[in-house]
């Protein structure tokens, strides 16, 4: 009998695990190996069970608007474990001075669906409100009809909505998602639907007016948004997002995943196989494989592929990644003056605060801690304040206590605290990201039995990462089947 086909997956985040799961389903006779250099898999999907509490240290939700995560949950037999967010307080707040104000009713990222909601909002000045509502009268950008047109989110939002709406609403809302610099963030790479709205209708507002009759009216959409309906598309699992990671591990053959195993070098043999130099607990060794899925952040992939394809490595190296830290505080409810009548808040950069955002985790998903205590999360770092990520734990906890003290009226010592650092975990989709990724994916496709996966390419959310991992697995499996 010939030796079994061997396939390696480098990177044990959700993309790599999803790729391995799909490979096992499509090519069950293959010998799979997943190498993760950290001591645990899952990356920012990290659920901690502490004293009967459920604490999310990184990502805490995924969207049902994209099918990847829900479909995978069905395959793993955990679809019944999916839970929605709390139906109360489904809204976001934004810091303005020492107070937290609700975002305007009906305002979603860059589109104002409710005139009344904008006019009643205390977040913007009268001048800022009028400029935002004048969006339908702003001219279409020159050259926007070109397929490769792109501009920064800051440029687009300022041009269409005005500087104040950008600084007070768009920038902090997007920083809460991408921890990015909006002056460099690609519109085409992050929110192509807004680019398409201007391209087709000349205005974000008119794109609503000219929607199909089957679609909700602007008034209905505004009412839905004011009730927080958009938060209904965000879900988690009863056991936290870590339950998805554990279910993937349980579905893979024993011995598939090796943690604490750093792939130090990747090479191609004269016979067309892949050789990986792996440093693990038992020392450094060479492993040989018939196919390879690279599911690491782009900068790491660039370093590993430098000796295989210098052009591909150079393109991968152009994708930057930002780091961030999440500080978790568990406090008694009586220590906090704020009503916590939202899921959390974002902080505009112009406020000059150290926080990017804050989350009321125990409000968003109740029942994970006792009713008389509150789990708060503070987010720091990112592209605009990278120096904060590596502060000592004690300083980060003190930072969170100070900011929550000023904005939420937090008093006294927390019952428990935690710091999670996510180094280079969030790719920065700079202007020109889409053609860059198209080009490097085409280049990667020229390497036999090889594929890229991860959040560096076509979406940072859990569903996009799962879809990317599965697509990579299907590409590699098809080539292996053709070879036999």
Same-domain status, 135 and 123:
yes
Q: Which of 183, 218, 253 is the last residue of a domain?
A: 218
**Same domain, yes or no: 118 and 197:** yes
- What residue numbers bound the domain in which 347 lies? 320-428
Treating both helix axes as pointing N-terminal to C-terminal, what angle do 171-178 and 153-161 enclose, rounded to 10 degrees? 160
Question: 86 lies in a domain?
Answer: no
Q: Return the DSSP state at 167.
A: I
CATH of residue 405's domain is 3.90.660.20
* Residue 74 belongs to some domain of the structure: no
- Looking at residue 397, the DSSP 8-state letter turns out to be H
Task: Give tens-digit pLDDT for 215-269.
Answer: 444 334 433 434 444 567 899 999 999 999 999 999 999 999 999 999 999 999 9
Whether the CA torsion 41, 44, 48, 53 is positive or negative: it is: negative
- Asked whether residue 109 falls in the same domain as residue 201, the answer is yes
Same domain, 16 and 155: no
Pull the structure tokens for residue 332.
Answer: 């008694």
27: domain CATH number is: 3.50.50.60
| Number of residues written out for the chain | 484
Query: Is residue 404 one of the residues assigned to a domain?
Result: yes
What radius of gyration, in Å, describes the C-alpha atoms of the chain? 23
Provide the domain count of the chain.
3
Structure tokens at 268: 């191609």
pLDDT tens-digit series, residues 307-333: 999 999 999 999 999 999 999 999 999
pLDDT of residue 231: 63
Report the mean per-residue pLDDT for the chain: 93
Q: Where are the alpha helices (DSSP H) in 227-333?
A: 242-251, 298-304, 310-317
**129 and 140 together in one domain:** yes
pLDDT tens figures, 52-105? 999 999 999 999 999 999 999 999 999 999 999 999 999 999 999 999 999 998
DSSP assignment letter at 233? G
Is residue 452's pLDDT more than 80? yes
Residues 412 and 339 in one domain: yes
Strands (E), 382-449: 416-428
The residue to which tokens 């009759």 are assigned: 213
- CA–CA dist 36, 38 (Å, integer): 6
Q: What pTM does this model have?
A: 0.93
109 belongs to a structural domain = yes
To 5 degrees, how large is the angle CA 307–CA 309–CA 315? 115
Cβ contacts of residue 341 below 8 Å, gap of 6+? 89, 91
For tokens 């430098």, name the residue: 306
Q: Are residues 313 and 435 part of one domain?
A: yes
Q: Within a 10 A sphere around the Cβ of 90, how many other Cβ atoms?
A: 21
Q: Is residue 59 part of a domain?
A: no
- Band (1; pLDDT cuts 50, 70, 90): low
Structure tokens at 400: 């969170």
Contact in structure between 259 and 41 (CB atoms under 8 Å): yes
236, part of any domain? no
- CATH, residue 133: 1.10.3110.10
Q: Take residue 173 and report the two structure tokens written for it.
A: 């809302």
Question: Are residues 202 and 264 part of one domain?
Answer: no
476 occurs within a structural domain: yes
Q: Per-residue pLDDT averaged across 288-305, rounded? A: 97
Partners of 262 in the beta sheet?
279
User: pLDDT tens digit string along 124-139?
Assistant: 999 999 999 999 999 9
């Amino acid at each position: 009998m010939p030796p079994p086909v061997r396939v390696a997956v480098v990177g044990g985040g959700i993309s790599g695990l999803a790729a391995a799961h799909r490979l096992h389903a499509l090519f069950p006779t293959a010998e799979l190996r997943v190498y993760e250099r950290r001591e645990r898999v899952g990356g920012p999907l990290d659920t901690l069970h502490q004293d009967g509490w459920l604490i999310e240290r990184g990502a805490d939700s995924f969207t049902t608007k994209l099918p990847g995560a829900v479909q995978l949950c069905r395959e793993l037999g955990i679809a019944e474990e999916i839970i929605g967010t709390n139906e109360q307080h489904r809204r976001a707040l934004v810091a303005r001075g020492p107070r937290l104000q609700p975002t305007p009713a009906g305002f979603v990222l860059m589109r104002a669906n409710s005139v009344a909601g904008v006019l009643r909002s205390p977040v913007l000045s009268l001048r800022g409100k009028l400029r935002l509502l004048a969006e339908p009268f702003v001219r279409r950008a020159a050259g926007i009809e070109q397929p490769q047109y792109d501009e920064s989110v800051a440029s687009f939002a300022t041009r269409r909505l005005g500087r104040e709406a950008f600084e007070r609403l768009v920038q902090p809302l997007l920083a809460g998602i991408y921890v990015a610099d909006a002056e460099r963030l690609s519109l085409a790479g992050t929110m192509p639907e807004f680019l398409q709205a201007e391209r087709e209708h000349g205005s974000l507002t008119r794109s609503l007016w000219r929607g199909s009759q089957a679609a909700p009216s602007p008034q209905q959409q505004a009412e839905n948004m004011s009730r927080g309906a958009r938060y209904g598309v965000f879900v988690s699992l009863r056991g936290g997002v870590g339950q998805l990671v554990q279910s993937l591990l349980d579905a893979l053959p024993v011995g598939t995943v090796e943690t604490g195993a750093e792939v130090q070098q990747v090479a191609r043999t004269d016979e067309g196989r892949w050789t990986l130099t792996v440093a693990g607990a038992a020392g450094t060794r060479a492993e040989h494989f018939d196919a390879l899925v690279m599911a690491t952040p782009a900068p790491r992939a660039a370093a590993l592929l430098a000796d295989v394809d210098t052009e591909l490595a150079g393109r991968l190296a152009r994708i930057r990644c930002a780091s961030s830290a999440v500080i978790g505080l568990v406090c008694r409810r009586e220590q906090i003056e704020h009503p916590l009548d939202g899921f959390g808040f974002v902080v505009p950069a112009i406020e000059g605060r150290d926080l990017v955002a804050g989350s009321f985790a125990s409000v968003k998903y109740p029942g994970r801690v006792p009713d008389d205590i509150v789990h708060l999360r503070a987010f720091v770092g990112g592209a605009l304040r990278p120096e904060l990520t590596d502060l000592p734990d004690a300083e980060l906890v003190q930072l969170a206590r100070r900011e929550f003290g000023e904005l939420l009226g937090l008093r006294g010592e927390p019952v428990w605290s935690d710091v999670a650092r996510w180094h280079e975990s969030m790719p920065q989709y700079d202007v020109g990201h889409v053609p860059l990724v198209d080009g490097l994916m085409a280049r990667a496709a020229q390497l036999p039995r090889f594929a890229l996966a991860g959040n560096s390419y076509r979406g940072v959310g859990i569903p996009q990462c799962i879809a990317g991992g599965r697509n990579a697995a299907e590409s590699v499996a098809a080539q292996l089947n053709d070879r036999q």
